[in-house]
């Protein structure tokens, strides 16, 4: 294993899909996880895809040196290529990334980033060799918000509204 510092890579400008950047997602990760998918133009992603492939290849070579007879399995890649020529990266971190505006000034902590925001994200690619296979994760460092889409979760209640308190009805039982 090498202890070299990982290079920090930067995505092209892309559209955020289901971003959990302002707040941690705790639904499936009680300790909290910041993550997003970022949809970019595939023709702008060659350098990143190569860096990911290099990380996976390095971990594969390490495994071969440890046990040349062991069958190597691979985990899912941290990106997918869509039919319409887009590259969707899956980025994550345990720690809240630094969130900056288009002039590299920090955004207020209460700003909520919604899907459709245009972002550029710096990250480190970390290769791993786990029971699921050899793969690579993309760990977010900073998020630059170029076009902010924000909103409220007010529509999540649908037609629910505050109602007056209701006293419980007492059911009378008749014994026969």
- Rounded to an integer, the average pLDDT of 57-70 is 90
46-84 as b/e: b if 16+ CB within 10 A = eebeebbeebbeebbeebeeeeeeeeeeebeebbeeeee
What pLDDT, in 10s, does the model give residues 115-130?
A: 999 999 999 999 999 9
Q: What is the pLDDT of residue 43?
A: 94
Inform me whether the pLDDT recorded for 88 exceeds 60: yes
Q: What is the pLDDT of residue 168?
A: 61
Q: pLDDT exceeding 90 applies to what percent of the chain?
A: 70
Alpha helices per DSSP H over 6-45: none
Place of tokens 């971003």: 19
Instruction: pLDDT band for 174, please (50, 70, 90 cuts).
Output: low
Place of tokens 């290099």: 54
- Residue 33, classified by CB atoms within 10 Å of its CB into exposed (0-12), middle (13-18) or buried (19+), is middle
| Mean of the per-residue pLDDT values of the chain | 88
Q: What is the pLDDT of residue 80?
A: 96
Inform me whether the pLDDT recorded for 1 exceeds 50: no
Residue 107, C-beta contacts closer than 8 angstroms, at least 6 positions apart:
99, 100, 101, 145
Q: Which two tokens stand for residue 108?
A: 């207020």
Q: Which two tokens stand for residue 48?
A: 């990143």
CA 15 – CA 84 distance, rounded (Å): 14
What pLDDT, in 10s, does the model give residues 143-159?
A: 999 999 987 655 555 66
Out of 26-30, 74-78, 102-106, pick the least confident.
Answer: 26-30
- Rounded to an integer, the average pLDDT of 150-176 is 63
Q: How many residues does the chain have?
A: 176
For each of the domains in the chain, give its residue range(s) and CATH number, in order of start.
8-152 (2.40.50.140)
Out of 96-105, 133-142, 155-164, pick the least confident.
Answer: 155-164
CA 157 – CA 165 distance, rounded (Å): 19
CA 88 – CA 113 distance, rounded (Å): 18
- Rounded to an integer, the average pLDDT of 78-97 is 96
């Amino acid at each position: 294993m090498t202890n070299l510092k990982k290079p920090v890579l930067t995505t092209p400008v892309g559209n955020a899909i289901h971003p959990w950047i302002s707040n941690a997602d705790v639904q499936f990760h009680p300790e909290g996880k910041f993550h997003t998918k970022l949809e970019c133009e595939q023709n702008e992603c060659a350098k990143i895809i190569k860096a990911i492939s290099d990380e996976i290849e390095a971990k594969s070579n390490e495994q071969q040196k440890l046990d040349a007879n062991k069958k190597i399995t691979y985990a899912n890649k941290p990106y997918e290529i869509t039919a319409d020529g887009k590259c969707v990266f899956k980025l994550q971190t345990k720690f809240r990334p630094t969130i900056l505006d288009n002039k590299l000034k920090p955004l207020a902590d209460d700003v909520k980033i919604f899907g459709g925001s245009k972002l550029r994200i710096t990250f480190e690619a970390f290769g791993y060799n786990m029971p699921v296979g050899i793969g690579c994760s993309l760990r977010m460092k900073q998020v630059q918000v170029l076009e902010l889409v924000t909103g409220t979760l007010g529509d999540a209640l649908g037609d629910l509204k505050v109602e007056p308190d209701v006293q419980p009805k007492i059911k009378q039982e008749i014994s026969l």
